[in-house]
Amino acid sequence: MDGIKAEITGEVFDGKKAEAMVKDLTASFKAGKTKPYEWRVSQLEGIVRMIMERETKIMEALQSDLAKPNMEVYLHEISLSKAACMFALKELKNWMQPEKVPSLIATFSSTAQIIPEPLGIVLVISAWNYPFALITDPLIGAVAAGNAVVLKPSEVAPSTAAFFAKFLPQYVDSSFIKVVEGAVPETTALLDQKWDKIFYTGSGKVGRIVMAAAAKHLTPVALELGGKCPVVFDSDVNLKVAVKRMAVGKWGCNNGQACIAPDYIITTKSFAPKLVDALKSTLEEFYGEDPLESADLSRIVSFSHFKRLTELLDEENIPEKIVYGGERDEKHLKIAPTVLLDVPCDSLIMKDEIFGPLLPIITVEKLEDSFELINSRPKPLVAYLFSKNKKLEEEFVQNVSAGGILINDAALHFTNPHLPFGGVGDSGIGAYHGKFSFDAFSHKKAVLSRGYATEMRIRARYPPYTYHKQILLRRIIDGSFIALFLGLFGLHRD
């Protein structure tokens, strides 16, 4: 079963097929083939070969699904996926090693360690906006941890889903790594099964559905959900550099269709005009006078998403807030980078995650007011601050709750495998990247081992619990070395 192509072949992937697939995977996993270091390495090496040998096909798929510029495909999908795989190959042996931990006086003459073991059969449900990287990254963590994996790519990016179904089995062990294409019925059939973990990337709405389905089987979940990522902009920055960094993090990340894309800016009333002018200049430099014709700007993924974004722009009193952009091309599903100033906080554009090229600016009297504004909303996946003020930076880090925080740049923290990537509250549960991906798909098994040498001497733990035994046990538990000495040599009364 190299890939289950429900839409292409016309076969129905229903609950019975899903149940049979999970049953087969479970039986195969129990045989232990995925646990050895050699199997894990062979899968990671296969993923690297696929990335290197099929780069052109990957770019073609993403061009078809999103009209994504090849440079963005390489930077954000191909190179990051390859780097993640190479990092796992380099570190895997260390990750798999048992972690020795101290023993206590109460368990004298023992060794203690934590052993990472694979969870078992895991399901990865991915998103459409980075359809290659958001499948590959959790796949790397899952196989590095020694699991069997079922991948469910997004039906909104059908070309990339077809790529995985066709090519992935040529490079990995398809008896343990499977791809299921399809839409809601196929995803529902998969969610009805019992998994050892579900990893979902997407919207909070669907995340709640995934979590409810997982709860029926007490299945642990990791949810990467996004949210409205705020940007606090100080007036003391190097304006030209700061705006370029912020702009490429917004529009250079899939034209704003990214969970870590800046969603709205908060700045002071006095600084807002300068910021708007800098944004206009930068966007014209990036995408020309007619951004709808730019080959460097991704299109909106579908008509329904295009319609949703235009409805945000067309809400009453919002068109007059547009200070740059606003152009749209329904035929080609393109919307120009759009900046809005002083939009009402109760408007539609400020309620839900935008996930597109629209960028509202909210003004406050002083930047410290932004902390309360951000914290009054659901916790974002990432919060950004552009400032040279170290005191403001410290206050921002201390007072703003978010999955992650980035100072004086946008989106770059995603590339560091030494940092956990994940949300908090409404923006997600759990984290991954680097060893955090390995940990996300591992169970940390506690192991304590004792010998028999001291058993004849330490009798106080056993009934009957006489007064003297109770005193001795209390002292041992409290860390009294004298009591331990007496217990070891039997110098106490029963």
Whole-number Å distance between alpha carbons of 326 and 310: 9
Of 174, 175, 128, give the one whose Cα is nearest residue 152: 128
- 3-state SS, residue 82: helix
Is 224 catalytic? The answer is: yes
- 3-state SS, residue 102: coil
Of 252, 267, 257, give the one whose Cα is nearest residue 297: 252
| Long-range contact set of residues 165-171: C-beta below 8 Å, sequence gap at least 24 | 165/2, 165/3, 165/4, 165/5, 166/2, 166/3, 167/50, 167/54, 167/57, 168/3, 168/50, 169/2, 169/3, 170/50, 171/46, 171/47, 171/49, 171/50
The amino acid sitting at 112 is A
Contacts of 364 (CB under 8 A, 6+ apart): 266, 267, 268, 269, 370, 373
Whole-number Å distance between alpha carbons of 296 and 276: 22
Query: Which one from 72, 77, 181, 224 is the annotated catalytic residue?
Result: 224
Whole-number Å distance between alpha carbons of 300 and 293: 14
Length of the chain as a residue count: 494
- The pair phi, psi for residue 108, each rounded to 5°, is -50, 145
The amino acid sitting at 416 is N
Is 345 catalytic? The answer is: no
Whole-number Å distance between alpha carbons of 142 and 84: 12
Assign residue 267 a region (left: φ > 0; alpha: ψ between -120 and 50; beta: otherwise).
Answer: beta
Query: Which one from 77, 229, 259, 353 is the annotated catalytic residue?
Result: 259
Assign residue 183 a region (left: φ > 0; alpha: ψ between -120 and 50; beta: otherwise).
Answer: beta
Percentages of the chain per state (helix, strand, coil), in multiples of 5:
45, 20, 35
Alpha-helical runs (H) found in 168-270 = 184-191, 204-215, 239-250
The amino acid sitting at 60 is E
**Cα 17 versus chain centre, distance:** 29
Return the active site residues.
224, 259
